[in-house]
A and B are shown apart, each in its own frame.
Chain A
Amino acid sequence: MTAVATAPDSVAGSAPERPEGAWATLVRGLRLSPELRDGLAGTIALAVLATAGRIVVPVLVQQTIDTGIRGRTGPDIGRIGLMVGVGAVAVALTALCASAMNVRLYRISETALAALRTRAFRHIHDLSMLHQQAERRGALVSRVTSDVDQISQFVQFGGIILLVSFCQLVLATAVMLWYSWPLTIVVYLAFAPLILAMRLVQKRLSVAYTASRERVGYLLGSVAESVVGAPVIRAHGIQDRTAERIDTAIESYRSAQAKALRLSVTAFSGGEIAAGLANAGVVVLGVLLGLGGGLTVGQLTAFLFLVALFVQPVQISTEMLNEGQNAIAGWRRILAILDTRPDVADPDIAVPGSGHDLPPGPIGVTFRGVRFAYPTGPDVLSDIDLEIPPRTRVAIVGETGSGKTTLAKLLTRLMDPSGGEVLLSGQPLRRIRFASLRSRVVMVPQDGFLFDATVAGNVRFGSPGAADEEIELAFTELGLADWLESLPAGVHTPVGERGESLSVGERQLVAIARAYLADPDLLVLDEATSAVDPATEVRLQRALDSLTRGRTTVAIAHRLSTAEAADEVIVVDAGRIAQRGPHAELVTQEGSPYAGLHASWVSQTR
């Protein structure tokens, strides 16, 4: 791979100029998690009961005072006792219903969100390499961790309260209407401007909260860089500079949070104004109505009390709004990931029914007029026409940045060509099912990434179910039995995070064993032994040679020992095939790129 791959269209939604509205996001989010609707009827029923209890208790208190204590004959202890008893039962029932509802909501939301996390995780793996690399890993991690956490915090804390508040609003309205419909209209008129204002600030709030969620991703990216790059940072003593970079990310997140909060607080302190207006309106109209004989003192008092019950949920909901917006921004980021269509997709997913399996047997490779450029970049490869017959061992050589790795990535369909076509055994690569492709074509990438498991666990990654003996045998066949023996616990030796308990060369040995045991028909080695010592490399190569006869091998190498042993050498220069043929032939073509490379190689190694 060469030159700058300017980031491909960065994963959708990471630079939203006009994010979709909160409501639209919410609707799409809910549609994406049908689990959230599981047993919704029951939950709502419980919510209504819990809310009814919350209204019944204050009403009972009110009634107890009015009829029991203020009664004409003084307090009626029997009646009060009865009402207090009823109240106690109501309190207990309310608590019971609320608990049952809460527990249900916790269970439903966590189940739904675990599924959402998993779906987003899978989708990230389905995205093409270029898309994956467009975003920092830390930021990708934040999408399946903290973005989802934001939603759950909201659904469980805010969501419960919003649900109950909504019920309370509805019930309070019903009772208010029963007392007096003109006064109810006054209350609603007082709140109307608030609803209008909410619609207006909604967009700005969305932008502010989305920005805040993005900064989290950026922050995690910076922290991850400082942790993964720990050795370099220490080697060059740049702790201060790194700290500054992280501080910038921390500070930008904090200021984004503060900005979003300021916006939401000022916007929604309007709720309190509305409450004041509602009270004032009710007093004025209530008195006027009363003068006309349409209302008694008791009714007006009761109504004012109901206004308080109506205002309360509005106040509480605005308290929740901060988290609500956060959750929606988190949701938006997850939706953005799920909305990004994988540009290199399994044929059966791209066009259902269009997928084929690779025909059995050794695999031949054809490049037909292949061209490749990164988005907005110049051509990295052009006019590649190539035929690799089955069972041949091909070495691809060329200067760094000449396009060798790109060739390997096209061959294994990590990327699709910008023009032309790649065929395996005569089948267009785009039509081959991933399941078939990945089991038959295996690539050992430049950095042999290992998972934090044992040696055996890593080798088994390519062939699940392989027994320890098979793994040991693979190492033996590759001539690596001595090395394996030198490990403290053989195949059960843990390799550490990213394989860092092993040396770089040792990691490559494990990566090769992993590919070898997967037993592919086409093996692509991209600088797979660059950090291995020459003696081990030669031994490994001989082993691979004898073992890979019968399968097709494409090896990219800077060490020309690989080329010397190959059936055919392909020399790539500035994105084009400059030379091809057996080593013995190419090396005699004086003044050719290969002759030059080989001369340097010989002068360095002999």
Chain B
Amino acid sequence: MIRNDVLWRGLRILRHSVREEPRIFAASALGSTLFGLATIGAAYVVGGIIAHVVVPAFDSGKTSAGALALAVLALLAVSLLKIVGIIGRRIGAGNMQFRLQATYRRRVTRKYLQLPLAWHQRHPTGSLLSNANSDVEAAWFPIAPFPFAVGVVIMVFVAAAAMFATDWVLALVGLLVFPALFVINYAYSRRMSPRMTRAQQLRAELSTLAHESFDGALVVKTMGREEAETDRFRAKAAELRDALVGAGRVRGVFDPLMEALPNTGTLIVLFVGAIRVKSGVLSVQDLVSVAFLFTVLAFPLRAIGWVLGELPRSVVGWDRLQTVLTATGSMTTGSKTLSGTGPAALELRDVSFAYAGADPVLEDVGLELPPGRTVALVGPTGSGKSTLTTLVSRLVDPDTGQVLLDGVDATELAVDEVTGAVALVPQTTFVFDDSIRGNVTLGGEYGDEAVWSALALAQAEKFVRALPEGLDTLVGERGTSLSGGQRQRIALARALVRRPRLLVLDDATSSVDPSVEAAILRGLRGADLAATVLVVAYRRATIALADEVVYIESGRIQARGSHAELLASTAGYAHLVTAYEDAERERQRELAAELDDELDDQLDDEEVSA
């Protein structure tokens, strides 16, 4: 039971911090100890000056410049020691804290990159931001006063030794302060922990809400919902406020109690000491020096209070970090490599997939793409096409069944084998806050020539050349300075520059106007692509690119064959691909009907007039 206590766990986190940064901790603790000893020293120096300089001077009515100079020197020397101590301690403690924060930010963000997409789909962006920011901060918050507190502990030991040497009874009575300190802290932690947990949770929720709201700012604006969004934010901010005020109520009482402790100790020491002096077992001078030690300790003791006071928050932050750091479900990889060059073979064997807590999106999908084949995947909105493309490019793994590349199960392939061979152009393009070049190469080693030829094939060359800085033009976060169609073409170039062996296009030209799309398709057809292509498409021209068409509906493959075959055999397919023609025909018919009506009317009129 005690092992789960917040205090215990908080101290373990501190121990952990020392293990992470032993040297810098040692330096700052040393600085802190120096400061502590200098503080005690200063008290003795002042006492010495009064006894040996001031009192004789006042008694004799004269003093020497030498004595005064010595006093000044002694005081300044002690100050200097304190300064060295302070610098060592504060710079050390600060750097220790910053380094720990940086280390854990790195670990958490690395983990984000490692964890599979399925994990990301369950965790909102704002909350992940909060983990990397406020939880890391919370976990290492006690580090700033920590070395100070350690120095104080050393000081306390020195002081305790001095006290025991003077009078053990008095020392024992005085040191009762320490058990009291831990008792108060225990009560404090118990009340504080649940409040702090809730506060950190609400911080994450507030961050999530803000991120989502700013992300959807355009919708908020166009719907005129600023006030409603503000209300939503205000309500969450009020919840956080209440939680923090609740935590403050506990903290606000704890701090003064911690401060009252050493003073109480001093008073008790004085009283007990006076009795002992009266009974003759203690000299007045000894009592004074013990009492004095206590007053000197009063301020530094608060550093211990600062550390202990922050422990509950630290434990909460730490726990929240641990849920990320210990999250499992990274994708399993094997050691096999793909030996082939040229177009890859793709096979899906009885693949089924469902998003967490939802109905299956794909069921028993079997599909085979021989090397070099171009296959069009056609199906109504929400039929599972995009999900299939994410399985093929191994963004997610199927629940059952297998995805095979060149006959090897994708899960048995070594890291980077799949990404090296397969390039996916997703439906929604994501553009990084980087230059055009950076967005195409994504840090890969591609020469300008390769980049330009990929851009040319994606029909992006013309507009990129017109940009003020060409390839080095920065595109802003998520490509806000580019139009939707331009972003899509950059994403296409990104895939093409990699010369993939399997190219997966998920409706990748939806934002591009017809003539540009036609040019892209012409380019792809003409290019010596050396790739197997899986393309999600609606338009005839895209379908015409394909050697074969696969029709999918409600997560199942309904039919496959040539366009003509499917048109004849599969009503759903025919309905989908001839929709525009049908609509046009319908419109013509209506127009004709209207014309007929008008003609009839005219005829009627003529008849009447005749």
Q: What is the CB-to-nearest-CB distance from A271 to chain B, in angstroms, rounded to a whole number?
A: 9
A322 at the interface (CB under 8 A from B): yes
- A451 contacts B212, CB within 8 Å? yes
Q: Does B248 contact A (CB under 8 A)?
A: yes
Q: Which residues in window 305-331 of A have CB below 8 A to B? A: 312, 316, 319, 322
Minimum Cβ distance to chain A for residue B238 (Å)? 6
A540-585 interface (Cβ within 8 A of B):
541-542, 558-561, 564-565
Contact A405 B267 (CB under 8 A): no
> Which of A221, A258, A287, A300 has its CB near the most chain B CB atoms (within 10 A)?
A287
Residue ID in chain B nearest A408 by CB atoms = B222
A87 to chain B, nearest CB (A): 5
Query: Which of the segments A22-30, A173-181, A227-235, A467-475 contacts the partner chain?
Result: A227-235
Mark the stretch among A351-359, A362-370, A500-508 that contacts chain B: A500-508
The answer to whether A219 and B105 have CB atoms under 8 Å apart is yes
Selected interface stretch from A12-20, A68-76, A196-204, A422-430: A68-76
| Contacting pair B94 A258 (CB below 8 A) | yes
Does B20 make an interface contact (CB < 8 A)? Answer: no
Of A291, A438, A483, which contacts B62 at CB under 8 A?
A: A291
* B259: A residues at CB distance < 8 A: 94-95, 98
A residues within 8 A CB of B221?
125, 129, 414, 438
Interface size on A, residues (CB 8 A): 195
Closest to A443 in B: B222
Please provide the 8 A-B residue pairs with the shortest distance between their CB atoms, ordered closest to farther: A438-B224, A106-B248, A276-B79, A400-B485, A237-B419, A102-B252, A604-B541, A241-B443
Partner of A5, one of B210, B355, B480: B480
Binds A, one of B2-10, B49-57, B402-410: B49-57
- The answer to whether the Cβ of A253 comes within 8 Å of any Cβ in the partner chain is yes
What residues of B have a CB within 8 angstroms of the CB of A596 in the complex?
A: 515
* A65 B102 Cβ-Cβ under 8 A: no
Q: Is B26 an interface residue (CB 8 A)?
A: no
Q: Find out whether the CB atom of B278 lies under 8 angstroms from the CB atom of A269.
A: no
User: B interface, by DSSP: helix, strand, loop or mixed?
Assistant: helix
A206, CB-defined interface residue at 8 Å: no
Contact yes or no, A464 B211, CB < 8 A: no
A141 touches B393 (CB 8 A): no
Are A110 and B430 in contact, with the CB atoms below 8 A?
A: no
* Docked CA distance A138–B475 (Å): 17
Are B579's CB and A534's CB within 8 A? yes
**CB-defined contacts of A220 to chain B, threshold 8 Å:** 129, 132-133
23 of the cross-chain contacts (CB-CB < 8 Å) are A99-B252, A117-B206, A118-B234, A121-B210, A132-B217, A133-B480, A136-B433, A145-B207, A232-B426, A236-B498, A237-B416, A250-B106, A265-B94, A280-B71, A291-B61, A400-B489, A400-B513, A401-B486, A438-B222, A449-B218, A461-B225, A506-B382, A535-B380
Q: Which of B50, B267, B498, B541 is most buried by chain A, counting CB atoms within 10 A of its CB?
A: B267
Interface contact B420-A462, CB-CB below 8 Å: no
Residues of chain B lying within 8 A (CB to CB) of residue A296: 58
8 Å CB interface, A65-119 against B: 65, 68-70, 74-75, 77, 80-81, 84, 87-88, 91-92, 94-96, 98-99, 101-103, 105-107, 110-111, 113-114, 117-118
Distance in Å from the Cβ of B477 to the closest Cβ of chain A?
5
| A 263-319 contacts with B by CB, 8 A | 265-266, 269, 272-273, 275-277, 279-280, 283-284, 286-287, 290-291, 296-297, 300-301, 304, 312, 316, 319
Summarize A's interface: helix, strand, loop or mixed. Answer: helix
B510, CB-defined interface residue at 8 Å: yes
Q: Which of B113, B219, B386, B575 sits near A242, CB closer than 8 Å?
A: B113
A87 to B333, CA, bound (A): 70
Which residues of A in the span 492-523 have a Cβ within 8 Å of any Cβ on B? 496-498, 500-506, 509, 511, 514, 518
B293 at the interface (CB under 8 A from A): no
Q: Is B241 an interface residue (CB 8 A)?
A: yes
Q: In the complex the two chains form, what is the Cα distance from A126 to B225 in whole Å?
A: 11
Whether B514 contacts A560 by the Cβ 8 Å rule is: yes
Is B420 in contact with A227, judged by CB distance below 8 angstroms?
A: no
| Binary CB contact string for chain B from 237 to 250 against chain A (1 if under 8 A, 0 otherwise) | 11011001100110
At the interface, yes or no: B379 with Cβ under 8 Å from chain A?
A: yes
Q: What's the minimum C-beta distance from B243 to chain A, rounded to whole angstroms?
A: 9
A606 neighbours in B (Cβ, 8 Å): 540, 580-581
Q: Which A residues are CB-close (under 8 A) to B58?
A: 287, 290-291, 296-297
A444 to chain B, nearest CB (A): 8
In Å, the complex CA distance between A287 and B57 comes to: 7
Asked if A227 meets B114 with Cβ closer than 8 Å, knowing A111-B241, A250-B102, A283-B54, the reply is no
Q: Given A145-B134, A238-B442 in contact, is the A254-B274 Cβ separation under 8 Å?
A: no
B309 smallest CB distance to A (angstroms):
9
